[in-house]
Structure 1
């Protein structure tokens, strides 16, 4: 896998460690298998304050998006840059859900090799795609139906895109979204990005960051016909029994298209 994709193994390491906790916020039994399949490419588990904050955010993010997807009320789910996400296998999906995983061909090939003997809990389609090309056609060629409501997830993706590419991606998503569709992604935290850029322990990640949206997420969504709701990291973490030790400005945004839910 390339360097961008290797960062997915870093997230898998974080999810594997969380899954071992007796009070874990989720159970991802495949995370450890991904790491074991490519041990030389798994980023180290440095325990600097910044890297621990990054891992904490990833853990809360995972659980938050788990809850978002299961309560979105959409039978069509699209994971943009799915990476080593195993939600198709570990979440208790309602009947009739079709889940589409999009990512680079090398990432998906590695993932399929590890999950070869696993059974998804929903109808799952794997869509090799490059978000700089016509990924919408590839998605529809695999059975996606733009006339039906969709729950979209862009977990940890936008920061790796330039402002122009992030805008283009979300514009395409909007075009493909029927009324009552949902979307979720991270709300940008410029101060954290600046700290990470100057931290040796975070350079594997921050060296690949390209900024993402060049305006507040809620503003972009509102301007494009979505109804956004912001979720600060602190209250979300506290609701899961993991209160922050110090205040943070990061968080998430979810939005609905058309009639609010």
Structure 2
């Protein structure tokens, strides 16, 4: 099979909430499509279940950025595994959506992966995943929370230990929040982060250019009420202002070359400055 069926395999399956929750399906479609490639950057055996539950056609306009999503996924996969293998035994996925890293990555023994997202998104996710469990020796903990509110008590109640170094990930989240909300979110992350904790983020850099027509994607965002609410021209500098030192911030060109996809620097993927940053908390 080289393409995903755009229609749901079972119309009786759970339904994903609209708005930002629906964009999570578009990311799952990209992961499922990447997993079909012979030269795939990762294998996500769970992504197809989400596609079957809703149907790829629901987010067909997001195919525009499928190549980018595959590269972003690979970068953050590598980041999280490296952090866990370096002794950061807590991983927190902010706005986890339909992320399946807790299930598909080879975590070191003792790793706990916390997934935070809106209750309705997590309910859909759990209904589709069924009895899927984290690899032996690691733990997956789901934490219903609205990241625009004070979510720290829910995270600590679920077993999170602020005194332990943590690997944080904010993927596909910051552009959907206002600049003020982003500042507050990173401040809350910092307050919960022991020295040597790491934080990876994705933001929309307004200097990144798209030579192709992405109007279909913009229209889809508007139709489901999931427009970008903020951009960040200097993500590393912004993080530095909150106490995080950038360790890696590849441009789009560098990201393609790093993962052997230089030939796919397409007109739709974007070029120039990127918004993907991996950083570390100082002492």
TM-score of the pair, normalised by structure 1: 0.89
1:232 aligns to what?
A: 251
Shift in CA distance, 196/146, structure 1 to aligned 2, threshold 3 Å: farther
Shift in CA distance, 214/238, structure 1 to aligned 2, threshold 3 Å: closer
Deviation at 1:238, TM superposition (A): 1.0
The superposition leaves residues 197-231 of structure 1 with CA deviations (integer Å, 9 ceiling, x where unpaired) of 97133322366234336562211221222111322
Q: Secondary structure of the residue that 1:43 maps to in structure 2?
A: helix
1:190 aligns to what?
A: 206
The correspondence for 2:68, drawn from 57, 60, 69, is: 57
The correspondence for 1:205, drawn from 208, 221, 241, is: 221
Instruction: Provide the C-alpha distance between the structure 2 equivalents of 1:209 and 1:68, rounded to a whole number of angstroms.
Output: 27
1:156 aligns to what?
A: 172
The correspondence for 2:261, drawn from 234, 242, 245, is: 242
Q: Secondary structure of the residue that 1:42 maps to in structure 2?
A: helix
Instruction: Provide the C-alpha distance between the structure 2 equivalents of 1:213 and 1:162, rounded to a whole number of angstroms.
Output: 9
Shift in CA distance, 46/171, structure 1 to aligned 2, threshold 3 Å: closer
The superposition leaves residues 170-193 of structure 1 with CA deviations (integer Å, 9 ceiling, x where unpaired) of 110011110010000124321458
Within a 5 Å distance, the mapping from 1:96-175 to structure 2 comes to 96-121=110-135, 122-175=138-191
Pair 1:77 & 2:91 matched: yes
Q: Does structure 1 conserve the Cα–Cα contact (< 8 Å) formed by 2:206 and 2:231?
A: no
Deviation at 1:240, TM superposition (A): 1.1
Instruction: Provide the C-alpha distance between the structure 2 equivalents of 1:249 and 1:189, rounded to a whole number of angstroms.
Output: 7
Count of paired positions: 254
Q: Does structure 1 conserve the Cα–Cα contact (< 8 Å) formed by 2:206 and 2:233?
A: no
1:43 aligns to what?
A: 59
Q: Secondary structure of the residue that 1:185 maps to in structure 2?
A: strand
Instruction: Provide the C-alpha distance between the structure 2 equivalents of 1:196 and 1:205, rounded to a whole number of angstroms.
Output: 17
Gaps of 5+ in 2: 1-16
Shift in CA distance, 159/187, structure 1 to aligned 2, threshold 3 Å: closer
The correspondence for 1:217, drawn from 235, 245, 248, is: 235
Q: Does structure 2 conserve the Cα–Cα contact (< 8 Å) formed by 1:99 and 1:124?
A: yes
Question: Which is worse superposed, 231-240 or 173-182?
Answer: 231-240
Deviation at 1:100, TM superposition (A): 0.2
Deviation at 1:12, TM superposition (A): 0.7
Q: Does structure 1 conserve the Cα–Cα contact (< 8 Å) formed by 2:186 and 2:242?
A: no
Pair 1:253 & 2:277 matched: yes
Q: Does structure 2 conserve the Cα–Cα contact (< 8 Å) formed by 1:13 and 1:42?
A: no
Instruction: Provide the C-alpha distance between the structure 1 equivalents of 2:218 and 2:229, rounded to a whole number of angstroms.
Output: 15
Q: Does structure 1 conserve the Cα–Cα contact (< 8 Å) formed by 2:205 and 2:233?
A: no
Shift in CA distance, 201/211, structure 1 to aligned 2, threshold 3 Å: closer
